[in-house]
């Protein structure tokens, strides 16, 4: 039989691991994004055609391909982050925290699939494109390239992935408002960051929100770091008075 102190220690470890996952993901995202922006013109290059993008992709070489592979795997850090957030908030908001953790997994899978096309399918297309014997072959390759960008890129990775990611942040922020472990200002900032992301995800449909997307590119990693630090410090942070912070307190409120 598991003792209560042992279970509590495990829960604390899970919460802290989720926090560190967010911190590492944010720092790695910023580093990889900076590299790709410098070496590949990312993300503006995403609007280019096959004749422009595919040779540039191949020119990145083995290092660039490895960076793309790393970039594609970074969203998987959202899985322990979602589990950690659920462990931290399930006592005060079990429903919201459970849905949020599912959304974190959905975001991780969708964003990973969207990004993995670059070091895998697109890399093969780039090789075939530069070796294509004629314009007809290059046209066929370009058609596949465009189709994959629309499906895996815009719909799966950017739309579904970002929708799930920002709903994860939104539900987590709402749940943290009820928690004695989390300061109220963090919940408010989390809601703002999530709303910015939910607006920015429409950039491919409504160019008018492009400035919001530029802001979100900076806000997202900052908010991930803040969220991560809050999770790591959750059990050490002073609890807000008058807010239920544990399961026993929640049961007492229901009894009253």
- Judge whether 247 lies within some domain: no
Residue 180: pLDDT over 90? no
Q: What is the pLDDT of residue 204?
A: 84
- Judge whether 3 lies within some domain: no
- Judge whether 1 lies within some domain: no
- Judge whether 208 lies within some domain: yes
Q: What is the pLDDT of residue 181?
A: 78
Distance, in Å, from the CA atom of 214 to the CA atom of 217, rounded to the nearest integer, reads 5
Q: What is the pLDDT of residue 251?
A: 36
The token pair at 227 is 């969220």
Q: What is the pLDDT of residue 12?
A: 82
* Domain extent for 184: 8-235
- Judge whether 172 lies within some domain: yes
If one counts the domains in the chain, the total is 1
pLDDT confidence bin for 246, thresholds 50/70/90? very low
Distance, in Å, from the CA atom of 45 to the CA atom of 59, rounded to the nearest integer, reads 14
Contacts of 185 (CB under 8 A, 6+ apart): none
Q: What is the pLDDT of residue 245?
A: 45
Give pLDDT tens digits for 7-19: 566 778 899 999 9
């Amino acid at each position: 039989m598991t003792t209560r102190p042992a279970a509590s220690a495990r829960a604390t470890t899970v919460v802290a691991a989720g926090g560190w996952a967010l911190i590492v993901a944010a720092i790695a995202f910023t580093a990889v994004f900076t590299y790709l922006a410098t070496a590949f013109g990312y993300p503006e290059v995403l609007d280019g055609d096959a004749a422009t993008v595919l040779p540039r992709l191949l020119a990145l070489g083995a290092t660039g391909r490895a960076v793309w592979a790393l970039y594609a795997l970074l969203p998987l850090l959202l899985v322990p982050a979602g589990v950690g957030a659920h462990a931290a908030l399930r006592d005060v908001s079990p429903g919201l925290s459970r849905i949020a953790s599912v959304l974190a997994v959905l975001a991780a899978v969708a964003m990973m699939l969207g990004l993995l096309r670059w070091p895998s399918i697109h890399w093969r297309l780039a090789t075939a494109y530069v070796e294509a014997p004629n314009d007809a072959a290059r046209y066929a390759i370009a058609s596949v390239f465009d189709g994959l960008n629309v499906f895996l890129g815009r719909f799966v990775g950017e739309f579904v992935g970002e929708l799930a990611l920002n709903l994860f942040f939104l539900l987590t922020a709402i749940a943290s408002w009820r928690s004695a472990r989390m300061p109220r200002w963090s919940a408010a900032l989390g809601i703002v960051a999530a709303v910015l992301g939910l607006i920015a995800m429409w950039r491919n449909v409504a160019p008018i929100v492009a400035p919001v997307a530029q802001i979100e590119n900076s806000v997202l990693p900052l908010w991930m770091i803040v969220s991560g630090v809050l999770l790591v410090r959750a059990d050490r942070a002073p609890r807000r008075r008058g807010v239920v912070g544990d399961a026993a307190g929640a049961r007492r409120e229901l009894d009253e």
